[in-house]
């Protein structure tokens, strides 16, 4: 047994009791009644970094403070930026929790508490990974910087202002955070016993369209057939955005799509994903989507179009023969690398203007947009992380993508020009944002070991 394993064994219980102590602090960032607890959670974490002699700061922001800590720069070695968050989702509804959300309780090898997996339990593995390294091997072989925010669940205004340079003191933020790679542990493994690296995320572009026809709601008998009904027009316009094969019809939409290569397709199909189980879980008779791609390919690596909200006319009980004056829809496209949300917005606007019939006024309202993210499977950081996970979990990770977006990953790319390793130690059924949030303690310890191994593996690059 190496020194390192010995250290982890000796501190096994203390790692857990430290985590439980932190989980007891109700750091609910969205609710100002908990401001004191949020600050206490930040101070507790900063204290832990200080105990390891990391250069630590509590950075005050317009919202909750950021916790920043760094180890010394190692000449000629890479710098790793670890991001995480110490705020948690509100625990409501309380009555659905089997044990109180801020009294960590261990059952079947899991710790149950709000923040167990999202993100306190996952984030803190990196603090303990650094600790174990320092206590057994001396100095870290790479520089590690920690940036831990308290508003991930509530919009992240403080982090945004910090990244924009608003709290710069002696060092500009870009220099302060300069790194070669970022690491985030705030997602899931592929399945129990099967760790994963998430190497791709989708982007998004979101819109609202409001159509206006006649100057008031009309009687559909007296006026129907004489003016364009905005609800009819909206349905026709939205239907034109996608064809029967699930292909989005916006000109140029697929031009920059980073196509899946053979290796990725084989990788996905080797995961043994079952369409039947998925169908049953969702309660539908048939799956649907873009032709020529498997369910996992469509979920993880193909762009999609969905109407998110649609309203017009009469919504109440019974019938009302109205020809509505207005109709609106919210809809979005999930994008993949290297689709550009701005180009798609411009092309969509032009297309809708052409589709909008005479007699209808269109108000086109773009909401937010963000590009997708993909880290090359050939990146040396990816191989380093895979080796570290294999050492920590005893199983090599699989490579997966996600249909979701993580805005901070895009910010790191834009601002620091770096990629992010998404190393999730959680499970899909961890109930994050729901009652009875949990985290497997075995995975917690495996995460600590993986983190500790990661520093050496990255140093070898
Ligand atoms: Zn999270």
Q: Tell me: the pLDDT tens digits for 196-214?
A: 999 999 999 999 999 999 9
Domain C-terminal end among 370, 402, 428: 370
CA of 28 to the centre of ligand 1 (A): 12
What's the token pair of residue 416?
A: 């620091």
CA of 188 to the centre of ligand 1 (A): 11
Structural domain range at position 242:
203-257+303-370
Q: Tell me: the pLDDT tens digits for 383-427?
A: 999 999 999 999 999 999 999 888 899 999 999 999 999 999 999
- Same-domain pairing of 108 and 236: no
Q: Tell me: the pLDDT tens digits for 42-73?
A: 999 999 999 999 999 999 999 999 999 999 99
Distances (CA, A) of 389 to 82, 288, 453: 16, 35, 8
Residue 279 lies in a domain: no
CA of 249 to the centre of ligand 1 (A): 34
Closest to 253 measured CA to CA, from 302, 308, 296, 293: 302
Residue 307 lies in a domain: yes
User: Can you list the alpha helix ranges (DSSP code H) found in 198-239?
Assistant: 220-223, 230-239
Residue 54 lies in a domain: yes
pLDDT of residue 368: 84
Backbone angles phi, psi at 30, to 5 degrees: -80, -20
Contact (Cβ atoms closer than 8 angstroms) between residue 218 and residue 323: yes
Domain C-terminal end among 336, 370, 404: 370
- Same-domain pairing of 120 and 59: yes
Residues at Cβ < 5 Å from ligand 1 ion:
118-119, 186
- Same-domain pairing of 327 and 443: no
Length, in residues, of the chain: 461
Instruction: Report the number of distinct structural domains present in the chain.
Output: 2
Domain C-terminal end among 370, 403, 418: 370
CA of 171 to the centre of ligand 1 (A): 28
Distance of CA 396 to the CA centre of its chain: 23
Closest to 355 measured CA to CA, from 243, 241, 210, 248: 241
Mean pLDDT of the chain: 97
The three-point CA angle 337-338-342 to 5° equals 115
Residues 6+ apart with CB under 8 A from 39: 64, 65
The predicted model scores a pTM of: 0.92
Residue 124 lies in a domain: yes
CA of 120 to the centre of ligand 1 (A): 8
CA of 356 to the centre of ligand 1 (A): 41
- Same-domain pairing of 110 and 171: yes
Contact (Cβ atoms closer than 8 angstroms) between residue 212 and residue 361: yes
- Same-domain pairing of 12 and 148: yes
CA of 88 to the centre of ligand 1 (A): 8
Residue 268 lies in a domain: no
Paired with 55 in beta bridges are 70
CA of 303 to the centre of ligand 1 (A): 24
- Same-domain pairing of 162 and 307: no
Return the CATH number at 16: 3.40.630.10
CA of 119 to the centre of ligand 1 (A): 5
Contact (Cβ atoms closer than 8 angstroms) between residue 211 and residue 327: yes
CA of 150 to the centre of ligand 1 (A): 10
Residue 272 lies in a domain: no
- Same-domain pairing of 452 and 357: no
């Amino acid at each position: 047994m190496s020194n390192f394993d010995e250290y982890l064994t000796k501190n096994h219980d203390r790692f857990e009791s430290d985590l439980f102590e932190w989980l007891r602090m109700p750091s609910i960032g969205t609710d100002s009644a908990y401001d004191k607890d949020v600050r206490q959670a930040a101070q507790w974490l900063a204290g832990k970094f200080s105990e390891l002699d990391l250069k630590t700061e509590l950075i005050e922001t317009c919202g909750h403070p950021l916790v920043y800590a760094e180890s010394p720069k190692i000449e000629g070695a890479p710098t790793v930026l670890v991001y995480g968050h110490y705020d948690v989702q509100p625990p409501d509804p309380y009555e659905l929790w089997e044990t109180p959300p801020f009294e960590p309780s261990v059952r079947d090898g899991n710790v149950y508490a709000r923040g167990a997996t999202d993100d306190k339990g996952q984030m803190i593995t990196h603090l303990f990974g650094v600790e174990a390294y320092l206590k057994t091997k001396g100095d870290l072989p790479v520089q590690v910087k920690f940036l831990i925010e308290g508003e991930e669940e509530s919009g992240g205004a403080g982090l945004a202002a910090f990244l924009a340079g608003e709290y710069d003191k002696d060092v500009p933020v870009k220099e302060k955070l300069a790194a070669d790679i970022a690491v985030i542990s705030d997602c899931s493994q592929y399945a129990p016993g099967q760790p994963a690296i998430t190497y791709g995320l989708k982007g998004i572009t979101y819109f609202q369209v409001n159509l206006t026809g006649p100057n008031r709601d009309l009687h559909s008998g007296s006026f129907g057939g004489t003016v364009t009904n905005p609800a009819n027009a909206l349905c026709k316009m939205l239907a034109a955005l996608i064809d029967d094969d699930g292909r989005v019809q916006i000109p140029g939409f697929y031009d920059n799509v980073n196509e899946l290569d053979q290796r990725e397709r084989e990788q996905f199909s080797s995961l043994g994903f079952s369409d039947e189980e998925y169908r049953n879980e969702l309660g539908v008779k048939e799956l649907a989507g873009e032709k020529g791609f498997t369910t996992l390919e469509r979920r993880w690596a193909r762009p999609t179009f969905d109407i998110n909200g649609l309203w017009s006319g009469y919504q109440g009980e019974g019938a009302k023969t109205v020809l509505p004056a207005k109709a609106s829809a919210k809809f979005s496209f999930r994008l993949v690398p290297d689709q550009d949300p701005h180009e798609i917005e411009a092309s969509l606007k032009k297309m809708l203007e052409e589709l909008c019939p005479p007699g209808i006024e269109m108000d086109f309202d773009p909401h937010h947009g963000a590009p997708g993210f993909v880290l090359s499977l050939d990146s040396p950081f990816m191989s380093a992380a895979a080796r570290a996970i294999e050492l920590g979990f005893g199983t090599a990770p699989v490579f997966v993508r996600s249909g979701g977006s993580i805005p901070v990953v895009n910010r790191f790319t834009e601002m620091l020009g770096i990629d992010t390793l998404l190393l999730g130690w959680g499970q899909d059924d961890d109930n994050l944002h729901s009652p009875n949030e949990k985290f497997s303690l075995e995975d917690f310890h495996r995460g600590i070991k993986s983190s500790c191994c990661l520093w050496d593996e990255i140093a070898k690059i």
